[in-house]
């Protein structure tokens, strides 16, 4: 039986108190009255709603495409006799379903941004905000406060502000579409990323044709966003082009008297912009296995001298480095890069930033990022040098291959702590390091009785260990054991070298780059791998 629309309450001289009836009244309101009001509102909306007339859709000057054309909806004309006067031809409009209206919605009804924020674009923005940022800054993805830290909020604000520029907006969408495509393996998203990047490139070309002053921070940011988009899409040629453009523009800025702590029109200081550019340069070099575009030996250290002087006053003491370098690291340049990685990691582990103000913590973070970028840049220069030598068959091949897999192992070890993040269970920004590492190890494989094997056995053990730890993050077999090419080769190398246990193995690994804080956890993994 249906509930009554009216609730009668016995309220006479003998029953004047409202408390005994309160529960019945509230239940009636929730179950009957409010439900009726919702039905009435829905009925009113349905009867009053009108299907939009597509011929009257407005356009906006800022919503033109990059060629300056404004798309106009074309009405569908019914087939009529050619002799019928044009003004008498009836125009037929296709009705829009509710699903069509939702998918064609606009999250920017006031045209605050330079591109239409459609449902598709809004989803890509939400993907960056809700998945990439929490992973990159180690935030809780389920929390309502995903932008809790200052750096993550600054990242999001910079990206949202970039939506006000057409070229920057398309580049930002192109980058995140490429990342989403890597996560989901969606060809449609890869195609969408290409479209966004092409539109951004056309907008940049148009901007450069009319610019009178190339030293504009907004121009830097547009090229930077497009640069990172091409890196995410694994487009080596385009990435190097945009990186080289930025390198020349920045050098020109300092050449005419610009300073490292200058305030730019976008609100950033030059040092903040430079740290963004160094991050992009490091990402390009390490993900795409190419040389950095900035000079990591002379120009960058010279430009960052004022910053180094500032950091020296707030930097905590470095913990002592108790482990020697293995004899396989026979170059001072290579040894310097390894020591830098050890120092940055040691400071980070010993001094988490607790008890210091935000300004000091930000300066320390910037110092760490700069040091990582210098070390990674030099390691990638070394890798590229010896890869070219091995391809030209000049020099000792075993030595060339060893320098390649040791350089990539050091980069991989450092990137796992800083640059690589997990999004939806997928390791993004990983790039081609694992492929390059395996290629160098396979080409340098020698019989165990050979002199070459004896000379490089410790370096190969470390390289196999670095690869195996990466495999461990991705896969585990059904019987609970880790598996993969690097795991198998690491176990074989341990056996061939006659190592008796984890203690003997770590004595060798400590001669390179190794995190001793995971000693016990790694022990269990080691025992599972080599048994």
- DSSP per-residue letters across 190-210: HHHHHHHHHHHHHHHHHHHHH
Tell which residue, 151, 130, 156, has the closest CA to residue 142: 130
In whole angstroms, give the CA distance from residue 251 to residue 136: 29
The pLDDT-based confidence of 251 (bands split at 50, 70, 90) is very high
Residue 200 has pLDDT above 70, yes or no: yes
Question: What is the pLDDT at residue 62?
Answer: 44
Dihedral sign of CA atoms 162, 177, 237, 206 in order: negative
Contact predicate 408/433, CB 8 Å: yes
pLDDT in tens, 70-80: 444 444 444 44
Dihedral sign of CA atoms 391, 392, 395, 396 in order: positive
Burial class from Cβ neighbours inside 10 Å (0-12, 13-18, 19+) for residue 197 reads buried
Q: How far, in Å, are 59, 61, 105, 154, 166 from residue 64 at the CA level?
A: 8, 6, 18, 29, 10
Tell which residue, 183, 176, 184, has the closest CA to residue 200: 176
Tell which residue, 386, 436, 90, 152, has the closest CA to residue 286: 436
Residues 213-238, mean pLDDT to the nearest whole number: 90
Question: What is the pLDDT at residue 349?
Answer: 76
Q: Where are the domains of the chain?
A: 1-34, 104-258
Question: What is the pLDDT at residue 329?
Answer: 97
Question: What is the pLDDT at residue 201?
Answer: 97
In whole angstroms, give the CA distance from residue 298 to residue 366: 19
Residues 495-508, mean pLDDT to the nearest whole number: 95
pLDDT in tens, 106-135: 566 656 677 888 888 889 999 998 888 888
15-29, 352-366, 413-427, 488-502: range with lowest mean pLDDT: 15-29
Find residue 92's DSSP bridge partners: 76
Contact predicate 373/427, CB 8 Å: no
Residue 457 has pLDDT above 80, yes or no: yes
4-18, 157-171, 509-523: range with lowest mean pLDDT: 4-18
More confident residue, 4 or 203: 203
Question: What is the pLDDT at residue 319?
Answer: 79
Residue 267 has pLDDT above 60, yes or no: yes
Contacts of 235 (CB under 8 A, 6+ apart): 197
- Our measurement of the distance from residue 92's CA atom to the centroid of its chain's CA atoms, rounded to an integer in Å, reads 47
Residue 398 has pLDDT above 70, yes or no: yes
Largest CA distance in the chain: 110
Tell me the average pLDDT of the chain: 81
Q: Can you list the alpha helix ranges (DSSP code H) found in 69-165? A: 98-103, 119-127, 133-136, 150-162
More confident residue, 139 or 19: 139
What size, in residues, is the chain?
Answer: 531
33-47, 210-224, 265-279, 303-317: range with lowest mean pLDDT: 33-47
Question: What is the pLDDT at residue 136?
Answer: 83
More confident residue, 6 or 326: 326
How is residue 278 written in tokens?
């160094």
Contacts of 361 (CB under 8 A, 6+ apart): 353
How is residue 432 written in tokens?
């081609």
Tell which residue, 452, 462, 454, has the closest CA to residue 407: 462
Q: How many CB atoms lie within 10 A of CB 455?
A: 16
Residues 61-89, mean pLDDT to the nearest whole number: 44
The pLDDT-based confidence of 37 (bands split at 50, 70, 90) is low
Question: What is the pLDDT at residue 419?
Answer: 75
Question: What is the pLDDT at residue 34?
Answer: 59
Question: What is the pLDDT at residue 32?
Answer: 67
pLDDT in tens, 431-442: 899 999 999 999
Residues 2-7, mean pLDDT to the nearest whole number: 60
More confident residue, 429 or 240: 240
Residue 298 has pLDDT above 90, yes or no: yes
Dihedral sign of CA atoms 391, 393, 397, 400 in order: negative
Dihedral sign of CA atoms 410, 411, 412, 417 in order: positive
Question: What is the pLDDT at residue 226?
Answer: 97
Contact predicate 307/366, CB 8 Å: yes
Burial class from Cβ neighbours inside 10 Å (0-12, 13-18, 19+) for residue 102 reads exposed
41-45, 53-57, 357-361: range with lowest mean pLDDT: 53-57
How many H-runs (helices) and E-runs (strands) does the chain carry?
Answer: 21, 4
Helix (H) or strand (E) holding 426: strand 426-428
Please give the share of the chain, as a percent, with pLDDT higher than 70.
74
Please give the share of the chain, as a percent, with pLDDT higher than 90.
48
């Amino acid at each position: 039986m249906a509930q009554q629309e009216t609730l009668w309450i016995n309220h006479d001289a003998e029953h004047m108190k409202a408390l005994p009836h309160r529960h019945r009244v509230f239940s009636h309101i929730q179950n009957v009255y409010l439900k009726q009001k919702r039905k009435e509102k829905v009925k009113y909306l349905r009867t009053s709603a009108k299907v939009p007339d597509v011929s009257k859709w407005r356009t906006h000057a800022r919503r033109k495409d990059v060629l300056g054309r404004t798309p106009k909806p074309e009405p569908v004309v019914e087939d009529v006799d050619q002799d019928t006067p044009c003004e008498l031809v009836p125009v037929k409009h296709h009705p829009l379903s509710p699903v069509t209206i939702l998918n064609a919605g606009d999250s920017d009804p006031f045209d605050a941004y330079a591109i239409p924020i459609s449902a598709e674009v809004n989803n890509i923005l939400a993907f960056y905000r809700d998945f990439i940022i929490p992973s990159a800054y180690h935030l809780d993805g389920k929390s309502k406060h995903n932008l809790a830290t200052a750096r993550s909020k600054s990242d999001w604000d910079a990206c949202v502000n970039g939506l006000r520029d057409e070229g920057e907006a398309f580049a930002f969408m192109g980058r995140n579409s490429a990342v989403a495509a890597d996560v989901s393996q969606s060809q449609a998203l890869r195609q969408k990323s290409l479209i966004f990047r092409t539109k951004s490139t056309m907008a940049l070309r148009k901007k450069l044709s009319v610019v009178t002053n190339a030293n504009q921070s907004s121009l830097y940011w547009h090229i930077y966003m497009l640069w990172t988009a091409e890196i995410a899409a694994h487009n080596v040629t385009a990435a190097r082009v945009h990186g080289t453009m930025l390198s020349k523009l920045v050098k020109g800025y300092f050449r005419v008297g610009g300073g490292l702590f200058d305030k730019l029109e976008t609100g950033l200081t030059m040092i903040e912009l430079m740290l963004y550019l160094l991050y992009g340069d490091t990402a390009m070099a390490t993900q795409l296995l190419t040389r950095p575009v900035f000079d990591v030996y002379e120009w960058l250290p010279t430009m960052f001298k004022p910053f180094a002087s500032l950091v020296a006053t707030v930097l905590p003491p470095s913990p002592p480095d108790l482990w020697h370098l293995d004899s396989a690291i026979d170059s001072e340049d290579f040894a310097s890069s390894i020591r830098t990685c050890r120092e940055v990691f040691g400071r980070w582990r010993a001094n988490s930033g607790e008890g210091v103000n935000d300004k000091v913590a930000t300066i320390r973070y910037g110092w760490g990022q700069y040091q990582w970028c210098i070390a990674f840049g030099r390691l990638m220069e070394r890798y590229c040098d010896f890869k070219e030598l091995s391809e030209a068959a000049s020099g000792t091949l075993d030595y060339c291959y060893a320098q390649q897999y040791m350089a990539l192992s050091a980069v991989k070890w450092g990137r796992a702590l800083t640059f690589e993040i997990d999004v939806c269970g997928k390791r993004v920004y990983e790039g081609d390091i694992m492929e390059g590492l395996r290629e160098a190890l396979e080409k340098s494989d020698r019989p165990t009785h050979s002199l070459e094997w004896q000379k490089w056995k410790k370096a190969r053990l470390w390289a196999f260990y670095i690869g195996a730890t990466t495999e461990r993050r991705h896969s585990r077999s059904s019987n609970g054991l880790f598996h993969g090419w690097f795991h198998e080769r690491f176990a074989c190398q341990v056996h061939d070298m006659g190592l008796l246990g984890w203690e003997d193995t770590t004595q060798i690994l400590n001669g390179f780059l190794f995190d001793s804080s995971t000693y016990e956890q790694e022990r269990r993994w080691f025992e599972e791998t080599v048994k």
